Amino acid sequence: MKQKKNIRWGVFLIPWLLSFSAILLNFISGKAFNSVIMTMTNFILDKFSWLFTIMSFVCVVLIVVAYFTPFGNVRIGGRKARPILKQSNYVWIVLCTIMAAGILLWACAEPMNHYYNPPAHIEPESPEAITFLMKNIFLEWTFTPMCIYGMPAILFAFLFYNAKKDYSIGTMLYPALPYNRAKKFSPAVDMLCLFGLVCGMAASMGSAVFLVSDGLDSLTGGVIKSGAVTWIVIGVAIVAMFVLSAVSGVTKGIRILSTLNSRIYMALGAFVFLFGPTVYILNLTSETFGAYLSDFIGISLHMSAADGDGWAMWWPVFYWCNWMAWMAVTSTFLGRISKGYTVKEIIRVCVIIPSLFSVVWLGLFSSSALYYELNGVGINKAMTEIGTAAATYETLKQMPLSVITIAVFLLIVLVSFVTASDSNTNAMSGLCTSGLTTDDQESPTWLKVIWGATIGTMCIVFILAFRTTDSLKYLSNLGGFPIVFLLILISISFIKVMKNPAKYDTFKEDYDEMGKPIPSKRLKSEEESDK
């Protein structure tokens, strides 16, 4: 018998009203609003950089420990649980959910920033600057952010499916806190996380809008100009696409889009490898990825204290704050689709595979952009004069069939954001709904529509007002500030569960007399069984 579903009106209305207020305040006095948000962000990053840095590193440590301890053999949903998704679809959905449009925008643009404006102890435009920038890009886009997502995702999956706790972010506070207390704080935690994610998604959508708009401008030779009308049309189209996909459910729209997008990713990556500066890509990627692994602990904890230039505050720490703003809600979605897989399998799919994919993608595009810049193409000049997205398009123009590759890249941007957004819209709507169970996890359609429309409206209003999404990024980072404290409690919960999963697991038969999980074989997925 299905449990009755009810709307958690407080959890829904308060974040929605805060989002609406941000839109309204922007209309009343956009510049003043922007100034206040920037001031608050500056304060947070200046005073708490150390906390964001340490907690991001803690996530990495916990994932490594979990993989090599008996906890890694725990199967989400019990030994008899069938996965919701077959492994290939599971991989594609996770990959596309995590990647979104950010890595597509910054893979070519960020090297330019770091090459010409590195930390104070590194000479600009030097070989040392190249090595440093590649190490830093690998740091910001590979294993660390995936661990920030992966650790809470595992915890949520275990507590929801194995411990039979509520579908809520606040659930992850247990067992760090007594369950009744964790349940009491749960609505406030969900509200906070929802608002942070709305801002983050709106900012990410802005990146997608600018990428597509600038790409169409480049592709058509200025026939379709990048401007207000184009931004609105693209924004409306993106919202319509990801809302329709979200409404169709996780096993339909999201699965289809992620599978399609992964194949396009691989095709474009193969093209860049074959027709780009192949030898330079192989040499630089191998050399700098090795340096990244060798210096991992040092660069992970770098906070520019010795330099005193605040560089780390506006690059890796800014990213950690933003990743954390997304973490809470995204991890519930990743945990939701992880049923039937062991903790080790989840780590491989949610952490290792996306990280290695990012290494390859960054190696291809960041190395190519640097190569062409060093050979006088003017990638940085184009980015400075036109906008951040121009770095990518100028890089692709140096290869054959640029009209086709730019068109393919635009398709990747569009589908990537749609896939990431519909997964998060599903998760957001789920958090606003009580009565979701392990067998019935779909929230009302109208919630998905409202959240999609709200995100789209925020994005369009802010980019029309400022021609940028900086204000939204700062708002998102404000949302990431309280999340770092939440992450401390989540880490404590994770450690307790990892040390003694049998204590919290309702599937007591899955453990031996010593309380260690009994290894088990993965069953056929629901997708495969239904065929």
Q: Which residues on adjacent β-strands are paired with residue 517?
A: 511
pLDDT in tens, 241-283: 877 776 765 556 677 878 888 889 999 999 999 999 999 999 9
What dihedral angle (degrees, nearest 10) is formed by the CA atoms of 481, 482, 485, 489? -140
**Residue 290 class from Cβ within 10 Å (0-12 exposed, 13-18 middle, 19+ buried)?**
exposed
Alpha carbon of residue 337 to chain centroid: 16
How far is residue 185's CA from residue 387's CA, in Å, rounded to a whole number?
Answer: 43
Determine what percent of the chain is predicted with pLDDT higher than 70. 95
pLDDT at 290 > cutoff 60: yes
- Span 77-97, average pLDDT: 91
How far is residue 125's CA from residue 203's CA, in Å, rounded to a whole number?
Answer: 30
Of the pLDDT bands very low, low, confident and very high (cuts 50, 70, 90), residue 3 is low
Of the pLDDT bands very low, low, confident and very high (cuts 50, 70, 90), residue 443 is confident
- Span 430-458, average pLDDT: 81
Q: Which residue would you say has higher pLDDT here, 26 or 347?
A: 347
Most confident stretch, 133-137, 203-207, 434-438: 133-137
Nearest to 200 by CA among 108, 308, 318, 296: 318
List b or e across 336-370, with b for residues whose CB sees 16 or more CB atoms inside 10 angstroms: bbbbbbbbbbbbbbbbbbbbebbbbbbbbbbbbbb
Identify the three-state secondary structure at position 493.
Answer: helix
Global pTM reads: 0.92
pLDDT in tens, 193-206: 888 888 878 877 88
pLDDT in tens, 297-339: 999 999 999 888 889 998 999 899 889 888 888 899 899 999 9
How far is residue 180's CA from residue 5's CA, in Å, rounded to a whole number?
Answer: 21
pLDDT at 218 > cutoff 70: yes
C-alpha angle 181/184/186, rounded to 5°? Answer: 110
**In the chain, where the domains are located:** 39-521
Identify the three-state secondary structure at position 6.
Answer: strand
Asked whether the beta carbons of 206 and 462 are under 8 A apart, the reply is yes
Q: Which residues on adjacent β-strands are paired with residue 75?
A: 342
Identify the three-state secondary structure at position 187.
Answer: helix
Residue 1: per-residue pLDDT:
43
How far is residue 151's CA from residue 175's CA, in Å, rounded to a whole number?
Answer: 15
Q: Tell me the HSE value of 237 on the side-chain side, using a 13 A CA sphere.
A: 13
Asked whether the beta carbons of 41 and 477 are under 8 A apart, the reply is yes
Residue 4: per-residue pLDDT:
63
How far is residue 284's CA from residue 312's CA, in Å, rounded to a whole number?
Answer: 23
What dihedral angle (degrees, nearest 10) is formed by the CA atoms of 458, 95, 276, 395? 10
Q: What is the CATH number of domain 39-521?
A: 1.10.4160
Backbone angles phi, psi at 438, to 5 degrees: -65, -20
- Span 507-514, average pLDDT: 96
pLDDT at 400 > cutoff 80: yes
| Mean pLDDT estimate for the chain | 89
How far is residue 285's CA from residue 291's CA, in Å, rounded to a whole number?
Answer: 10
How far is residue 280's CA from residue 286's CA, in Å, rounded to a whole number?
Answer: 10
